[in-house]
């Protein structure tokens, strides 16, 4: 749109090429370590054109395999759940150990007299853990996750994720009628924060934002407003994070791990914002949030306090005609979804064009598009 053609946001050809050139070539977020607690528990994740299984073995090690039976290529496992001691293909009952080795083939002696089981283990993929997140890569020996992340590792906030607990009730899932890059660009666009979210994110000092790309990944920090910082105990919607440091002080750390995992690490919570492309004009976003461990009573008290402090908070447009107007929702996610869908719709007009963009606060969007271009050319 600035550095990318309109086609990049609308065409199936672009979308499919991105799956191959971007999603299959980069590490992808697959879930939290807490999703796989016992041996046999598994989840599946789509990485470009490839479906992967992530499974906990009898040794409690997490491994990743291509979700394809070596017999006829059928998908072995569906979504998530618990396999027994083996992964069995529903088609002809070929079964594999949780370590990916072929265990048994029905009627092997009569039908497959020369079968070499050792050659027919599941295709191996890679798995790595960072901050309690499971990351996968379809290749057996890609660039290690820690190298691929590089310096962004030190710029995502001091949050000790292993000490926080997930609040499952706060998880959200949205289908947004926009290309995944519009959603990612909105996530890293620092210019809209003070405007689209003038009534919903006004606890942050947007004019003091510090951000930029570190390799392919995007770092973003902004402090709290003085008023909010001074009254944090009363105003925070949740018990505040208690381990900010001098190097990584109180505030909001909102990086985007390339190309599609946003992290929102704030004064009171730590969230992931997982952008999943479904079609050129359709994107699923899943959010999951971790918070300080505290008793239910502490949370109740905190939310009561915060409700009082924010009693005046509404939406961008306080008055209007429709009660379900996202601009009146007081929910910044609803505001972002509205903006993304409007942006996608605008692409249909033959009069669509992009005017001048903000030198500093929209540099992120231009840089993101340049990186997409580079990846697509490789």
Give residues in contact with Fe ion (CB under 5 A).
Answer: 336
Residue closer to Fe ion (CB basis): 156 or 334: 334
CA distance 43 to 37: 11
Tell me how far, at minimum, the Cβ of 240 lies from Fe ion, in Å. 22
Residue nearer to Fe ion on the CB measure, 55 or 340: 340
> Which residues have C-beta within 8 Å of that of residue 61, sequence separation ≥ 6?
none
Question: CA torsion, points 162, 163, 169, 172, in degrees to nearest 10?
Answer: -40
Cβ of residue 359: shortest distance to Fe ion, in angstroms?
A: 20
Of the pair 244, 332, the CB lying nearest Fe ion is at 332
Nearest distance, CB of residue 201 and Fe ion, angstroms: 7
Cβ count near 107 (within 10 Å)? 9
- Alpha-carbon dihedral sign for residues 93, 94, 100, 101: positive
> What is the rounded distance in angstroms from the CA atom of residue 141 to the CA atom of residue 135?
14
Q: Among residues 12 and 360, whose Cβ is nearest to Fe ion?
A: 360
Beta carbon nearer to Fe ion, 166 or 336: 336
Answer for the pair 51, 75: CB distance below 8 angstroms, yes or no: yes
Contact in structure between 261 and 209 (CB atoms under 8 Å): no
Tokens at 66, concatenated: 């291509």
Q: How many CB atoms lie within 10 A of CB 280?
A: 21
Tell me how far, at minimum, the Cβ of 364 lies from Fe ion, in Å.
Answer: 12
DSSP state of 244: -
User: Which residue has the closest beta carbon to Fe ion?
Assistant: 336
Residue 171 is encoded by which pair of tokens?
């998880």
Assess whether the previous peptide bond of 259 is cis (omega < 30° from 0).
Answer: yes
Our CB check for Fe ion shows the closer of 336 and 362 to be 336
Query: Tokens representing 96?
Result: 């594999």
Smallest separation, CB 187 to Fe ion (Å): 7
- Measured from the CB of residue 255, what is the shortest distance to Fe ion in angstroms? 15
Which residue lies nearer to Fe ion by CB, 75 or 225? 225
Minimum Å gap between C-beta 237 and Fe ion is 17
Nearer to Fe ion, 76 or 188 (CB): 188
Q: At what angle do helices 180-188 and 332-346 cross, to 10 degrees?
A: 130
Query: What does the radius of gyration of the chain's CA atoms come to, in whole angstroms?
Result: 23
Cα gap 20→27, rounded to integer Å: 13
């Amino acid at each position: 749109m600035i550095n990318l053609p309109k086609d990049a946001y609308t065409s199936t050809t672009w979308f499919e090429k991105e799956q191959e050139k971007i999603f299959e070539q980069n590490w992808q977020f697959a879930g939290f370590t807490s999703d796989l607690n016992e041996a046999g528990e598994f989840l599946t994740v789509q990485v470009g054109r490839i479906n992967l299984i992530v499974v906990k073995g009898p040794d409690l090690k997490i491994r990743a395999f291509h979700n394809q039976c070596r017999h006829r290529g059928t998908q072995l496992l569906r979504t998530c759940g618990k396999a027994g001691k083996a992964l069995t293909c529903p088609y002809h009952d070929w079964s594999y150990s949780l370590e990916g080795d072929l265990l048994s083939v029905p009627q092997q002696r009569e039908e497959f007299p020369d079968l070499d089981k050792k050659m027919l283990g599941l295709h191996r993929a890679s798995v790595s853990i960072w901050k309690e997140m499971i990351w996968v890569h379809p290749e057996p020996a890609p660039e290690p996750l820690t190298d691929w992340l590089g310096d962004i590792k030190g710029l995502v906030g001091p949050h000790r994720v292993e000490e926080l607990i997930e609040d499952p009730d706060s998880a959200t899932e949205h289908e947004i009628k926009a290309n995944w890059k519009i959603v990612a660009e909105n996530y890293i666009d620092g210019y809209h924060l003070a405007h689209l979210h003038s009534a919903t994110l006004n606890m942050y000092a947007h004019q003091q934002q510090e951000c930029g790309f570190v390799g392919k990944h995007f770092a973003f920090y902004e402090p709290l407003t003085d008023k909010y910082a001074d009254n944090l105990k009363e105003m925070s919607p949740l018990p505040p994070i208690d381990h900010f440091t001098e190097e990584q002080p109180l505030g909001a750390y909102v990086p985007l791990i390339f190309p599609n995992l946003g992290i929102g690490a704030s004064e009171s919570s730590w969230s992931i914002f997982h952008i999943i492309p479904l079609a050129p004009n359709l994107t699923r976003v899943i959010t999951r949030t971790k918070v300080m461990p505290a008793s239910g009573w502490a949370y109740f008290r905190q939310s009561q306090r915060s409700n009082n402090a924010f009693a005046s908070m509404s939406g961008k447009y306080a008055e209007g005609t429709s009660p379900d107007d996202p601009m009146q929702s007081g929910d910044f996610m609803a505001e972002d979804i509205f903006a993304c869908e409007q942006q996608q719709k605008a692409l249909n007009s033959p009069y669509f064009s992009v005017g001048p963009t903000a030198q500093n606060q929209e540099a992120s969007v231009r840089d993101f598009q340049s990186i997409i271009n580079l990846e697509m050319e490789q």
